[in-house]
Structure 1
Amino acid sequence: MSDEWKTPEKAESGDDKSWKLLEKTLLASVQEQRRSRRWGIFFKLLTFVYLLGMLALFSPLMDMEKSATRGSNYTALIEVRGVIADKESASADNIVSSLRAAFEDPKVKGVILRINSPGGSPVQSGYVYDEIRRLRGLHPDTKLYAVISDLGASGAYYIASAADQIYADKASLVGSIGVTAAGYGFVGAMEKLGVERRTYTSGEHKSFLDPFQPQKADETQFWQGVLDTTHRQFIASVKQGRGDRLKDKDHPELFSGLVWSGEQALPLGLIDGLGSASSVARDVIGEKELVDFTVEESPFDRFSKKLGASVAEKLALYMGFQGPTLR
């Protein structure tokens, strides 16, 4: 049969076949590139997780090996940096773990807490304070010195007051023995926007810290009582820790929340002398070599805790609640 009798369905030019073949080839190439890209991402992530795991595994072992190879005595150094709070680097768990390791090391002849912190949670600070006093009782021959660098305020000074002695630079900021709890009130803004707040609770005062509701006099008085109680606990701990070294325990502004320079804090008895971590190790303890006992979390642990803490913090802010803070 000649070509002129073929139907249009059966008549397919060579160009059409070429285009379809080219299209299939291009699609196959694109799919292959996508598969390669996915596998590349997978292997990169796998490599990252592997390296992170190896870092978390071998970092403590390397620190232990370094400690084991030291033959002489030394001074233990523990850093207290940043806000003192749960899940932070300056959490009670981290500081206490560092303290226990330092006091139990027979080569440690003295412990230095190097502090650079604005304070934080009264609970976390209290945990550390109590543990310092317990360890000092168990190891009376191992002295603990708090050394304040830039800032040792509020909860940070709470911790420092448990030490055998406190040192600071002449320009360090020391003190701030007080308690604060801050929030916002959005009642006026809600009224201007015409937004109504609907809260359903079981318990007469369950939502007394809600920033979207007006304050009540009895609830404000109650919350002030909570802060005053925490402040009294703070003052009692400082007096117990510092003892007779406080020159004037009845000084009207000593426990008012004010902060002093190191030079001003010395005659008040808030510190025992001026110096740095290295000078205290060399001149007071008599062992100038500093060995860092600060607990360092793995990057993976820090990321996980930050993620969890961020979610909890946002939820607390949304609910309008923020606990007392030593400041």
Structure 2
Amino acid sequence: MSHVAASRPTRRHAGRADRRERERSELRGRRGSHAFTGFWTMCRFFLRRNWVRMLVWIIVLTALVPATNASQREAFPTEQSREEYAQIANTPAIASMTGLPYAADTYGGILVIKLWMTIAIAAVFAVIFLVTRNGRADEEAGRTELLRAGVLGRHAATLANVTVVSAFGVVLGGAIGTAAAACDLDIGGSVVLGGGIAGLALAFVGITALCGQLTLTPRGANTIAALVLAAAYLVRAIADVEADGSEPHPLSWASPIGWAQNMRPYGDESWWPFALLVGLGVGGCCVALAVEARRDLGAGVLPQRPGAPWASALLVTPIGLVLRLERSALIGWSSGSP
């Protein structure tokens, strides 16, 4: 009897232990033990949160295509006027600002000279701001920590972020290509035009996602991504100035902007540089996810610089504080204004 009585509590304790273990397993599953749990939910969240911004970017940049094309058709109505413009456009100054002036005696080539660089740089800035807003900015504000404390997986937010912004880049490129084709331009060249914009946007999705893993603040992530863009633009400008005629210089292959330009819409129309742009974007996203798996939430790879032990006389004033907080933006926009 004593043996049977002693075994009953043991079985009860074992049953309770099993139930507790099952409850812990279910709780771990609900809390997102899988790294990508909640991915589709975050995609819907980022899309709902940013759809107005993305729609405005798409409408504004796409509207530039028919407006610019109409003005250039009015300015160069004859073949002779377009040939004269092609001779004027073939200068190092034009090459440094807008790229090599190939096919400048056609409306498609004129559109590329007048508009391609503007749309490309604007699209890259849109990507940089969106990726940082949904990534490092949310992490600094504590929203990512709050979500990951529940059912969200470690990489779900980052993967959803780059997926939504990548889709934005593809839609933007498609809209630009469609608008160009609607202007009676060559359909093949219009598709390549939109593909180059989309590919460059995808490349900087990966670059910005990686920048967000390196720094502690969204301002730092935006600054590093902008510096990468400035370096790519400078390398491309040097390569185009050193080019022989309309043939691209080998240095242009050291810049993602050069890759996109070398797709040559309304000219040679090459698609293989698009693979380089997509590969750069995918590679950047993969490295960003790998870094995210190894760093602490809220931390960055780059160490934070210690501040000065005391404030200057200007910094303690309201104007001085504003100038200190906005100095990077002021310097960046002022230096790029020429």
Normalising TM by the smaller chain, what interval? Answer: under 0.3
User: Hey, which of these two has a bigger chunk of helix by percent?
Assistant: 2
Normalized per residue, which structure has more strand?
Answer: 1
TM-score (norm: length of structure 1): 0.26
Greater length-normalized contact order (CA 8 Å, ≥ 6 residues apart): 1
The TM-score, its normalising length taken from structure 2, stands at: 0.25
